[in-house]
Amino acid sequence: MAVSARPARAPRGSGLMMVLDIPQERGLSSLDRRYLDGLEVCRFPLLDALQPLPLDWMYLIYTIMFLGMFPYVMLASSPLFCSPEWPRKLVAHCPKKLQELLPLRTAPQPSTSCMYKRSRARGSQKPGLRHKLSTAFTLLYLLEQLFLPYSHFLTQGYNNWTNGLYGYSWDMMVHSRSHQHVKITYRDGRTGELGYLNPGVFTQSRRWKDHADMLKQYATCLSRLLPKYNVTEPQIYFDIWVSINDRFQQRIFDPRVDIVQAAWSPFQRTPWLQPLLMDLSPWRTKLQEIKSSLDNHTEVVFIADFPGLHLENFVSEDLGNTSIQLLQGEVTVELVAEQKNQTLQEGEKMQLPAGEYHKVYTVSSSPSCYMYIYVNTTEVALEQDLAYLQELKEKVENGSETGPLPPELQPLLEGEVKGGPEPTPLVQTFLRRQQRLQEIERRRNAPFHERLVRFLLRKLFIFRRSFLMTCISLRNLAFGRPSLEQLAQEVTYANLRPFEPAGEPSPVNTDSSNPNPPEPDSHPVHSEF
């Protein structure tokens, strides 16, 4: 399982953006009144003297945040909520030659296809067949919209730990998921040969990990593609560990089932879906207490598993102090290299050797839950060494260190010198960290116009890349896909930043469509755990 030894941090500007968004959420948008046909409404502004803001306030703020094309689509659709007279007013201000090509400026006229009130009707009007069919369709549509939110008992195949299709309801906004470990195993149906696939291969989507219907489609796609790589009659197995809303990490699908041949129907419950261990939900408060009691260098991962299954893990050599402690149930821990087994009861704990595989078998009749407690001893030692180098550099600069520095430490003061001796890996790491800190400080103290230019250039890159990728996609649809080499060159060109300021490093690609995004410059420590 890939374990991050550092918690993820929210973007620095996100807090400011949420502060700017508060007026919109407190009813200061003119949209709030237009929804009620211009009637006076009760508002709840942050300050009583504040007045409604323009309707595009919120979406202009969202353009600064990390919501992709959403704010621009909303900006384009905002006029739908304005007065219906605005298109005619806009046409009236256009040149006369252009007005001939635009819609008419005349007021709307009564239509023979519509039914009006008696005060506006011309003569006697009776509803025709088209009116009756339109009324029936509207009523059926409204009834359908009222029924669909409660239709999960029919579309049971789309129900997982949360009900319904992905994005179908607001449930997706109240559940957070974290994936600790994803393993895809294939077996050659003829030779029995086993192999492993990189999670996310042949796709740019990451949603398949949480949804049975997508997983079935992904397995079917893999079974169609793998024969091109000399894997005949492939069988595909998924071992996916997920935590929802800070619960234990647990399997969401049965890893023993060949998903290619597994049954799935949109109207029947998915038999190979593992249930969410709701009985362990009360543990969440205790898990938070355990996390808060640990020091900054100690990390913990909480695991829950089903009877009859086992977890195979590898402890990285960097994790020199790793132990497993049982919280509930009963497990047997097998040390593969030492060929030893040890059974743990509730509350018992054992040390795990670094650089070796081990297996954890759940032998109790009920699900087991346990936790890994580990310290990245390599990172701790590195932090201590870097702190020593920083202290040594400060002593030399302020004159408290009178002795000469060894040749391998001279770059601490002079930097890397071309043609000179190559610095040690530790000194190189220290110099890179210093450069990052200096760059952060420079950007933090940069004048407003420089930060504005950097922000606009980033937005320009987004639009440039979107335009080029759209052109490539339309070309492929119209004339077919070119060779992979040409396509790779075109995508590389679309990702270029030709307007990046000189001396400024390109930011890390954070494209959400990339299933395996590169690690940021902060080098978070990951290990196969």
Task: Parse the chain into domains and list their residue ranges.
Answer: 2-81, 157-276, 284-375, 379-444, 448-528
Kind and range of the H or E run holding 48 = none
Q: Report the 10 Å Cβ neighbour count for 32.
A: 16
pLDDT at 205: 83
Measured CA angle at 312 (ends 338, 228), to 5 deg: 120
Ramachandran region of residue 277, left (φ > 0), alpha (ψ -120 to 50) or beta?
A: beta
| Nearest alpha carbon to residue 236 among 197, 284, 202 | 197
Pick out the chain residues at pLDDT < 70: 1-66, 118-124, 165-173, 415-421, 498-529
Report pLDDT for 165.
Answer: 66
Amino acid at 139: L
User: Is the sign of the CA dihedral 212, 214, 218, 223 positive or negative?
Assistant: positive
What is the torsional sign of CA 523, 197, 181, 355?
negative
**Residue-wise pLDDT tens digits, 78-114:** 777 777 778 888 888 888 888 777 777 777 777 777 7
pLDDT of residue 57: 60
Say what the pLDDT of residue 7 is. Answer: 40
348 C-beta neighbours (distance < 10 Å), count: 14
Take residue 282 and report the two structure tokens written for it.
């009360």
Question: Which one, of 154, 149, 274, 266, lies nearest residue 213 by Cα?
Answer: 266
Residues β-bridged to residue 372: 301, 324
pLDDT score of 503 = 46
At residue 64, the pLDDT reads 67
Given this model, what pLDDT does residue 31 score? 46
CB atoms inside a 10 Å sphere around CB 380 = 17
d(CA 420, CA 43) in angstroms, rounded, equals 69
Q: Rounded to whole angstroms, how far apart are CA atoms 161 and 241?
A: 13
Q: Which of 312, 168, 197 is nearest to 251 (CA)?
A: 312
By 3-state DSSP, what share of the chain in percent is helix, strand and coil, each rounded to 5? 40, 15, 45
CATH class label, 284-375: mainly beta
Tens digit of each residue's pLDDT (9 = 90 or more) over 140-159: 999 998 888 788 888 899 88
Return the pLDDT at 60.
66
Sheet holding 177-187, edge to edge: 194-197, 177-187, 235-244, 250-251
| Rg, C-alpha atoms of the chain | 31
pLDDT at 49: 62
Give the predicted TM-score (pTM) of the model: 0.70
CA distances from 198 to 36, 185, 201, 251, 358 (A): 52, 9, 6, 18, 22
Please work out, in degrees rounded to the nearest 5, the angle formed at the alpha carbon of residue 329 by the alpha carbons of 327 and 331: 95
- The confidence score (pLDDT) of residue 45 equals 56
